[in-house]
Amino acid sequence: MHTEDQIFQLMDEDELSLALINAQYDLRKTQGQKNGKSLIVLVNGIELAGKGEAVKQLREWVDPRYLQVKADQPQVLGEKQTFWQPYTRFIPAQGQIMVLFGNWYSDLLRTTMQTGAIDDAQFNVYLEDMRVFEQDLKNNYVDVIKVWFDLPWKTLQKRLDQIDPSEMQWHKLHGLDWRDKKKYDTVQRLRERFTKDEDWLIIDGEDEKQRDQQFAQHILQALKHCPNHPVRAKGRWKQAKIPELLQHPSQELAKTEEYKAELKKLSPQVAKALRSGPRNVILLFEGMDAAGKGGAIKRIVKKLDPREYEIQTIGAPEKYELNRPYLWRFWNKLQTDDDICIFDRSWYGRVLVERVEGFASPAEWQRAYDEINRFEQSLINHQTVIIKFWLAISQEEQAARFKAREDTPHKRFKITDEDWRNRERWDDYLKAAADMFERTSTEQAPWHIIATDDKNTARVEILKTILKQLQAD
């Protein structure tokens, strides 16, 4: 049944307000709990249909301190930015409610109406990507509420006749002239392509009292629905085979003079390739502790200006990050003005350390592979090249490097008791890495396994790989 067809009855306003406030406070109590969730409300619709009035009334019925509202004019979708990037920092934490007046649907409508750059096929692709993104939010305990406030053409014209001319500037949603019947019909035709989905609530904006209550009651139902998070995964897990390279890294040593010559030749070539073109580049490093991620990164940026790149060193998530989708902290580290972004550890922690140490439930880490693939593909579709490295060394070499760090004053900070403890889970990490390779190495974002106990060999191979993938793209 479509949401607009569900049975609706007016409530006593005081009773509705009390129910909303109680549900609002119950939602706040779920933060960090096994049923914790947040609510994001996407408000869209015909101009003068009462969107602002309905949200204003909702704010009067609830505790306004705990209802966040963000209103922006619709933006034109860009080639280098995914549709979700402008909004990720506003994804609410568990226990919170966020209302977005400007959102990815209004951006899609404006881009289609104003630029003509999106044809029917591309429109459908955007819609499917949006549905998938929203499902990933829901799977990570963000409830997505989608509302379209509708208004017949004749009623819209009457309201336009009555509006103060000085307020007209606030009523240019999607940049349209709402006196133009042809444009009105086009908006209606386009929006019907997504509001036909059952998870949309369509509200008739003609009756103000019914409009406000229908909106508020819909929010109330969403607030009251806080089921426990699933813990068990569906189906039986099939472990991937561990690559031979991970179990037996190369022991061959590079000759010092040859290494220096290669480094001198490759460093400027890599810097030039990283700068080339309008694309963004993400370099991502995972691997065993002390495998040489930091040293490799140092050689990559040697010929780059510090203003040209950003290095993100990823550790355990902060408490405020744990109350949002696990990809949230990475979404917000990717900005379109950072052409080169280097990750020393990354979103793959979900299927590595969080899996091995039990910080993520089986349901969470097992669905993460597909979520990560979709995340990376959306970036690739918007002029981003992703180059992923796994640095592998032997257990014996790791122990030697740990000991060397302990004996070197300026490197001692790099080694902790936890690093030594993690060696006990070596085989578990290899299994997790094997599953990661099998499930997230894609044609456009393959994994590059650099398996050697020699740091110099690894650094040269990394530079060569970066050069090769950038030239291929």
pLDDT in tens, 243-258: 999 999 999 999 999 9
On the question of pLDDT at 167 being above 90, the answer is no
Q: How many CB atoms are closer than 10 A to CB 71?
A: 12
Q: DSSP for 84-149?
A: TGGGGGGPPPTT-EEEESS-HHHHHHHHHHHH----HHHHHHHHHHHHHHHHHHHHTTEEEEEEEE
CA 366 – CA 355 distance, rounded (Å): 9
Mean pLDDT across 99-103: 94
Strands 97-100 and 280-287: unpaired
pLDDT for the residue 338? 63
CB proximity list for 351: less than 8 A, separation 6 or greater: 365, 368, 369, 372, 432, 435, 436, 440
Q: Are 342 and 300 in contact (CB under 8 A)?
A: yes
Question: 13-224: CATH homologous superfamily?
Answer: P-loop containing nucleotide triphosphate hydrolases (3.40.50.300)
pLDDT tens for each residue of 176-217: 788 899 999 999 999 999 999 999 999 999 999 999 999 999
Percentage of residues in the chain having pLDDT higher than 90: 84
CA 256 – CA 13 distance, rounded (Å): 79
CA 304 – CA 439 distance, rounded (Å): 33
Mean pLDDT across 132-143: 98
Sign of the four-CA dihedral 224, 230, 234, 240 = positive
On the question of pLDDT at 336 being above 80, the answer is no
Q: Where are the alpha helices (DSSP H) in 253-394?
A: 256-275, 293-300, 319-322, 328-331, 353-356, 362-380
Of the candidates 372, 426, 428, 373, the residue with the CA atom closest to the CA atom of residue 239? 428
Mean pLDDT across 369-389: 97
Query: Element (H or E) spanning 283, and its range?
Result: strand 280-287
Q: Are 405 and 414 in contact (CB under 8 A)?
A: yes
CA 434 – CA 242 distance, rounded (Å): 5
On the CB side of 49, how many CA atoms lie within 13 Å of its CA? Answer: 23
Of the candidates 205, 151, 153, the residue with the CA atom closest to the CA atom of residue 179? 153
CB proximity list for 444: less than 8 A, separation 6 or greater: 377, 380, 386
Query: What CATH number belongs to 244-471?
Result: 3.40.50.300
Q: Are 144 and 42 in contact (CB under 8 A)?
A: yes
Mean pLDDT across 84-97: 96
Q: Are 97 and 27 in contact (CB under 8 A)?
A: yes
Q: Do 13-224 and 244-471 share a fold? A: yes
Tokens linked to 76:
């034109």
pLDDT tens for each residue of 407-427: 888 777 777 877 788 889 999
Strand, helix or coil for residue 1: coil
What are the angstrom distances between the C-alpha of 470 and each of 210, 281, 309, 373, 374?
A: 57, 9, 16, 20, 21
Residue carrying the six token digits 């405020």: 320
Q: What would you measure as the largest C-alpha separation in the chain, in angstroms?
A: 84
At 225, give phi and psi (nearest 5°).
-95, 95
* Domain limits, the chain: 13-224, 244-471
pLDDT tens for each residue of 339-367: 899 999 999 999 999 999 999 999 999 99
CA 242 – CA 431 distance, rounded (Å): 6
Mean pLDDT across 134-149: 98
Band (473; pLDDT cuts 50, 70, 90)? confident
Query: Element (H or E) spanning 80, and its range?
Result: none
* Torsion, CA 70, CA 326, CA 230, CA 215, rounded to 10: 10
Assign residue 32 a region (left: φ > 0; alpha: ψ between -120 and 50; beta: otherwise): left
pLDDT for the residue 200? 98
pLDDT for the residue 37? 97
pLDDT for the residue 1? 39
Q: How many CB atoms are closer than 10 A to CB 392?
A: 24
pLDDT tens for each residue of 20-47: 999 999 999 999 999 999 999 999 999 9
